[in-house]
Amino acid sequence: MILHPKQFPVRWHMLLVAIIALAALSMAGCGPAGDQPPAGEGEQEPVSITDDRESETEFATTPDRIVSIGPVNTEILYAIGAGDLVVGVDMFSDWPDATGEVDGVGDLREPNIEVIAALEPDVVIISHTTMETIEKLEGMDLKVVALLTEDLDGLNRNAERLGRITGHEDGAERLLAAMEEAFDCIREAIGEVDEKPRVFFEIDPDPLWTAGGGSFPDLLIDMAGGKNIFSDMDPWAEVSSEAVIDRDPDIILGTLEQTREMIDSGQRSGWDNISAVRENRVEILDDDLINRAGPRLILGFAEMAEAMWPQRLDELPCVEEYESNLMQWIEE
């Protein structure tokens, strides 16, 4: 999933429309067939990828030129060692720093089709967009692979598929194994939880939107030993201020400073009676780490867990090791 780039915040509830639209697409990209040796090392057996539109794309050779539209897929490509194949990215793909050295192709839903075509990509890896955009790309004989990440299974699946496409299966396996180990390490540090703290996760402060059941924040809160107070709501839901007061969270988490400012300034009537506000348990997390379900999700999960359990997670050397390894893989 993409989520809240700092240069131009994208609201989660608006992305739901894009996810539904993309899931309904049925246009398929076709091409010659091949395996996944490192670029330039010859042809092997065909590689066939079925994307999240249920469209099948075949590769005769490992692509040398990739346009990545969507920061999650971009970050995965770099983390598995395929960053040198990326020749174009969307305006929100701002990590790692190397993304600043490749051409920009515009935003997510309506990228610049002409710029993409001029880059002569072997494949366009795309996440949240419109049917019209994909039809235009495929109408220009460009291969399009649409990969969405809506849960951890989706993250694993997309890393594996990008590894196959780029010939970096080993890099994908290495990344996923390291992520699993780091997740386990954080959960072990949290330990047994006798009583789950009630957590309110604020997506957007005005109007007030939250992450409901089945959303990525909901999953992470549960993994961190908490209880999302709106887990009974849709994944992205608008809620009233009164509803938050009534459900009385022990912890309030958000990714925008405006959340804390509105609470501290008293703009939200009655919120001074909420347990989280009385106990000073309002925490602002790094937007990109929490909202981008890619390789840095580990860092976001660690940040969330530390906010929820400050006495248990004062040090996490395993997370520091993971971050160090991640940067090393990107630079290889």
Query: What would the pLDDT profile of 175-190 be if each residue is shown by its tens digit?
Result: 999 999 999 999 999 9
Share of the chain above pLDDT 70, in %: 87
> Out of 10-14, 95-99, 100-104, 322-326, which region has the weakest mean confidence (pLDDT)?
10-14
- Write down the pTM of the prediction: 0.83
Least confident among 44-53, 71-80, 215-224: 44-53
Residues 6 or more apart from 287 whose CB is under 8 A from it?
A: 3, 4, 5, 6, 9, 255, 256
Structure tokens belonging to residue 13: 């509830």
Options 3.40.640.10, 3.40.50.1980, 3.40.50.261, 3.40.50.620; CATH of 12-169: 3.40.50.1980
CATH superfamily of 188-331: Nitrogenase molybdenum iron protein domain (3.40.50.1980)
What does the pLDDT look like over 203-246, one tens digit per residue? 999 899 999 998 889 999 999 999 999 999 999 999 999 999 99
CA–CA distance, 182 with 169 (Å, rounded to integer): 20
Q: What is the pLDDT of residue 293?
A: 87
Q: How confident is the model at residue 173 (pLDDT cuts 50, 70, 90)?
A: very high
> What is the reported pLDDT for 197?
97
Per-residue pLDDT, 315:
81
pLDDT at residue 10 greater than cutoff 80: no
Q: What pLDDT, in 10s, does the model give residues 257-295?
A: 999 999 999 999 999 999 999 999 999 999 899 888 899
Residue ranges per structural domain of the chain? 12-169, 188-331
CB-count exposure of residue 12 (10 Å: 0-12, 13-18, 19+): buried
Q: Report pLDDT for 221.
A: 96
Do 12-169 and 188-331 share a fold? yes
Contacts for 285 with CB less than 8 Å, ≥ 6 apart: 253, 254, 255, 300, 303, 304, 307
